[in-house]
Structures are given as structure tokens and as C-alpha cells.
Amino acid sequence: MRKIILLFLTIISFKLIAQEVNIIPQPAKLEVNSKELPFKIDSTTVIYTNDSLANPSIAFLQNYLSKNYNFQLKINRIPDIGRTKVINLIMNEKIVNQKEYTLKVTNKSIIIGATSDTAIFQGIQTLIQLLPTSKSTVLNIPAVEITDYPRFAYRGMHLDVSRHFFDVPFVKQYIDYLALHKMNYFHWHLTDDHGWRIEIKKYPKLTEIGAWRNGSIIGLWPGKGNENIKYQVLPTAVKITPKDAVLQTDGIKHGGFYTQQQIKEVVDYAAKRYITIIPEIEMPAHSMALLAAYPELGTAPNTKYEVAETWGMMNKYNNVLQASDTTFKFLENVLTEVMDLFPSPYIHIGGDEASKIWWKQSAVSQEIMKANGLKNESELQSYFIRRMEKFVNSKGKTIIGWNEILQGGLAPNAVVMSWQGEKGGIDAAKQQHKVIMTPEIKMYFNHAQFVKEDSLTANKFSPLIDVYNYEPIPGELTAEQAKYIWGGQGCLWSEYITNPAKVQYQLFPRLDALSEILWSPKEKRNYPDFQKRLKTQFKRYDLMGITYSKRYLEN
């Protein structure tokens, strides 16, 4: 009788477990077998696998188990479907879609099948979400059958390390966060007005000078005490002094950069998580750090430039690069070193927020326009982007640019990242260019999550529900045009994000919402159900020591 009672209690207990299968992003197909007892992972469980297929997946799983449960599993390099207490990672030739995986859990075994190592890795991420959210030496995994694959090919997340620098260990941790959410592109914003973060051996002053600024504004832009300042465009030849540029700042020196060896280390780390890193080298605007190091490349002669200390695009300070042969040669040399470091087929060259006033005031710029038959400064911007695209294409790579690269005519092969709403993306898709949707009001995670925030953020509002309900394919596109929406991306700009805990706070749980937008079938999305699943995800974040807003737990 006692055995019967224990069995009954076990079954009841498992039914409770089965009801708590909460996976983000939601799989394409999920069935929970409530009649099956759970599979138990403990220190005697063995992983059976093909060596060439699953090494990165095994390493990721082992690292997760070690960090969060303090044990690792034994490994056998030959799959054995007949054994019990095993996790099999196998090639399943019946699966046609290279991006698809299947995951089957019984009380005897776990089987993850796919026809690509990338899909096996995504299956591991789902398995991790079936693990308990508290420490234990025995991990009960509910019996499920899952068939899963991504909706969009591009699932990206961005990190700005120019406004505030984040070291290599944290960048790796950030990449792990993306992997856990089945993201496959990391957009690394390496240069801007406020700091140049990548070593370029041919031009050492980029990091000797450009990687450091002498302070940051106090409070919300334009900074404490500067609220009523009106920024005016100055004459071409004006000398900008530190006093003019600094305004009200904290006077604390800030900076840092990644050596080329560190870049290689991070690229390799991401590759083992099936994440492609897209580096961004900003041009022709957002270049004050570059101009501080090499002022001869700007449009204002005899000007001393400073690495920017205040946020925002102010025409008074934010000069642009001159569209000269000297500048193009410089940038080609920079991009050559960058492309040697990043195997990504894509290079982001910025192209946003270029104030045309600087070219308008520059006699050299006007001569360049006349020599090339350009009617206005927008066409000069297009000329600039096309010149750089031709070079990047010659190296077998493709450029990505913010939607302003549409101004004056879109470069022939460019991918458009639409941030100023959807219009740029819609126009590009209609011109049969690949598009990444990242409209600011929905996809910028540096914005406030709540009307009254816990700490300083950008003065805009992007609540979780708005992120979750965003649809990357605009309704006005035809089915054929919609094929050019490659995917979407979240962006995390770091003006008001100074440390890893604040990154986590701004990222979670909006990254969860983003992952479901980009991975799950559209018809599977349901915000109330997502909120329910988030409760389990928050427990997992507690286990992992991740910072997020506890205010979400109040709902």
C-alpha cells in the first residue's frame, strides 16, 4: 500500500511539473505527456553524441549545469538510442529543414535530433528551459515532444560600448544571454562620438586618443544646468575649445578599448554559440572620437576636435568626415583590419544622423560635389556610402546601414536597418533590399520600461507589452515584398547604462519578448500566456543571478 501511495504522489507531483512547462520563445509545436514520469538528470546521466556535431552544444550545456547546479555529465562519443539515463544528440536525416530540431523526453531518455549543429544547439537551449529553476542534485525534466524552428533568419541584439565601455568577460556573458534566447546575430557598436573601442594597428591614435573622454554629462541630456542652451551651427573655421564642448560634465575620465587579440577571442566565443558578430564602424557622422585622433579628416580646417562628452546630435560639435580620397583611403585601411578580425559576411557602416550643414559649409566638400556631378548634400552622403560599399563588396562582404543610407539613393547591395520607424524598411523592401526592423519606439531597450523608472534612462517609453506586440512585417507590404524583411533587432544604447547590472535591468525581460517575436510562429504569440511563462523565467534569472525589475512580479 505504501508503494502505491508513493507512486500516486509521484504521478500527482509530475502532473504539477507538467503544467509548468514554460518555454520562451514558444516552440512551433509542443506536446506535454502528462501520463509519463519525468526524466531525471543527475551526476550519473550520460550524453551520447557524434563528436563533430555537438561539441559546442555539449560545452554550453555543461557550463550551464556547472554554474547553476554544480555538476557535469559524462560524455560518450557514440549515440546509443537503446540505453536509459542518457541524453542523445543525433543526426536525424528525416528532418528536411536545416534550422529545425526535435526534442523528445521520456522517463528513460532525452533525444535531440537535427540535421545541423546549429539546430542541435537551439535544442539545447530549449532543454535548459525544461530544467528546474532551483538548485538540486537531481533535475526532473517533464516528458515532452517538441518540433521547433525559427520564423526569421535574422534575430539580432545590439550593444553600444562607445558611450560606456564593457569589458570582455561581460561581453561574453552578454553573448550567452543572446544564445539562451536563440538569437543568432550580435551587433557590436564599436565606434561613435564618445569613444573608439577597437585597436587598429595602422592608426594607433584611434585608441591612444579616441578611446578616452574627459567626462560625461550629468543627468539626462543635455545635462544638468544645460536644459535651456540652444545649440547653434558655427562657422566652418571655428576653433572648438574644451570649454565649449564640455558644458556641465562630471569630469571623470572614461574609456577603454579591445585589442585585436581580445576581438578574436570574443568572435571565437560567439561562433561556438552560433552567433555571428556584426561590427559597426560609424561613418560619415558619429565620428568625433576618430576626428579627435585624426582631425585632418574633418570638414573644418584648423579645428581641434574633442572626444564627445555630451550625448545627442548637436550641430555645434558633431562634425562629419570629409568625403575625400584621403578619408576613403583611411577608412579602407581601417575596414581591412576590421574585416580580417570578423568573419561575418556583413559589416555595419552606420550612415545615420549626418548633419549636412558641415558639407554645405565646406569649400572642399562643394568641390567634391561639383567634380562628381552631385546636386546636393544628400547625394554626397549617397556617394560616400556607395564608395565604401564598393570597397566592402570587393572583399566579399556586404554593408549594413541605418535607414538614412536611403538618402540620395540606396547603395546597390546594402542591407537597411530601419530605426526611424518603419518607413525606411518599407521603402528598402520595395526596392528589393534586405531589411532589419528595429524601430526606435518599440525596439530600443535603453528606453524606460515604466512611466516612473527605478533609475535614469533615455527619456522615451518602450514598455514590455509594446515590444511583445510588435510585428516586424508591415501590413502594407505585399507577400513578395515581405520576403525582404530579413528579421528584427533590439538595440541597447549605453548613454545611461554604466554597469553590467544596469544592462541586465534594461535587457530583461524585453529580450524575452524580442526572442518570441523573431523565433515563434506569429499565431503562437499571446501576451497573457507570455506573462505566465515569464514567471518561470524570472525564477531562472534569480538562479542565474541576473538583475531585472521586480515590479514585473507585482502583476
Q: How far apart are CA 445 and CA 362, in angstroms?
A: 37
Residue 229 pLDDT class (50, 70, 90 cuts): very low
* Percentage above 90 pLDDT, the chain: 78
In this predicted structure, the answer to whether residue 72 has a pLDDT above a threshold of 60 is yes
322 pLDDT more than 90: yes
Tell me the residue type at 468.
Y
- Of the ranges 83-87, 302-306, 485-489, which is most confident? 485-489
Query: Taking Cα atoms as reference points, which of 183, 133, 132, 134 lies closest to residue 157?
Result: 183
> Strands 276-283 and 254-255, how do they pair?
unpaired
Q: What local confidence, expressed as pLDDT, does residue 236 receive? A: 35
Helices of type H across 308-432: 325-341, 357-361, 363-371, 377-394, 423-430
Among residues 24, 29, 181, 50, the alpha carbon closest in space to that of 100 is found at: 29
Q: Please name which of 489, 502, 439 lies closest in space to residue 164, comparing C-alpha atoms.
A: 502
pLDDT at 217: 87
Within 10 Å of residue 116's Cβ, how many Cβ atoms? 17
Contact 293, 196 (CB under 8 A): yes
79, pLDDT greater than 60: yes
Higher per-residue pLDDT: 246 or 289? 289
| Global pTM value | 0.93
Residue 56 has pLDDT above 90, yes or no: yes
Region 10-35 average pLDDT: 76
Residue 13 — very low, low, confident or very high, per pLDDT cuts 50/70/90?
very low
Per DSSP, the residues of 240-275 read PPHHHHHSSB----EE--B-HHHHHHHHHHHHTTT-
pLDDT at 474 over 60: yes
Return the number of other C-beta atoms located less than 10 Å from residue 29's C-beta: 12
CA-to-CA separations, 97 to 1, 103, 152, 180, 243, in angstroms, rounded: 50, 15, 14, 21, 60
* Mean pLDDT on 29-44: 94
pLDDT band at 7; cut points 50, 70, 90: very low
152 pLDDT tier (thresholds 50, 70, 90): very high
Confidence category of residue 311, pLDDT binned at 50, 70, 90: confident
Residue among 17, 12, 31, 27 nearest 519 (CA): 27
CA dist 203 and 55 (Å) reads 38
With pLDDT > 70 as the criterion, what percentage of the chain qualifies?
A: 90
At 402-447, the pLDDT tens digits run: 999 999 999 999 999 999 999 999 999 999 999 999 999 999 999 9
pLDDT, tens only, 506-553: 999 999 999 999 999 999 999 999 999 999 999 999 999 999 988 888
Q: Note whether 90 and 79 are within 8 A (CB).
A: yes
243: CB partners within 8 A, 6+ apart: none
Q: Three-state secondary structure along 91-115?
A: ECCCCCCCCCEEEEECCCEEEEEEC
Q: In this predicted model, which residue has the larger pLDDT, 468 or 137?
A: 468
> Is cis: bond before 235, omega within 30 of 0?
no
- Residue carrying the nine cell digits 561581453: 171
CA-based nearest residue to 318, from 326, 308, 327? 308
Whether residue 243 is predicted with pLDDT greater than 60 in this model: the reply is no
Summary mean pLDDT of the chain: 90
Instruction: Write out pLDDT tens, residues 389-405.
Output: 999 999 999 999 999 99
- Which pLDDT score, from 0 to 100, does residue 529 have? 97
pLDDT band at 230 (very low <50, low <70, confident <90, very high): very low
H/E run at residue 75 = strand 74-76
Q: Which residues contact 485 (CB under 8 A, 6 or more apart)?
A: 152, 425, 429, 435, 437, 472, 473, 474, 477
pLDDT grade for 218, boundaries at 50, 70 and 90: confident
The arithmetic mean of pLDDT across residues 2-20, rounded, is: 48
Per the structure block, which three cell numbers stand in for 488?
A: 528584427
Q: Which residues contact 545 (CB under 8 A, 6 or more apart)?
A: none
Least confident of 44-58, 143-157, 295-309, 383-397: 44-58
Is the pLDDT score of 82 beyond 80?
Answer: no
Nearest Cα neighbor of 416 from 482, 335, 354, 485 is 485
- Assigned CATH for 2-148: 3.30.379.10
Phi-psi region of 359 (alpha: psi -120 to 50; beta: other; left: phi over 0): alpha
Q: What is the pLDDT of residue 469?
A: 98
d(C-alpha 27, C-alpha 16), whole Å: 20
Q: How does pLDDT run across 444-472, given as a tens digit for each residue?
A: 999 999 988 878 899 899 999 999 999 99
The set of catalytic residues is: 353
Q: What are phi and psi of 440, to 5 degrees?
A: -55, -45
Compute how many other C-beta atoms are within 10 angstroms of the C-beta atom of residue 245.
22
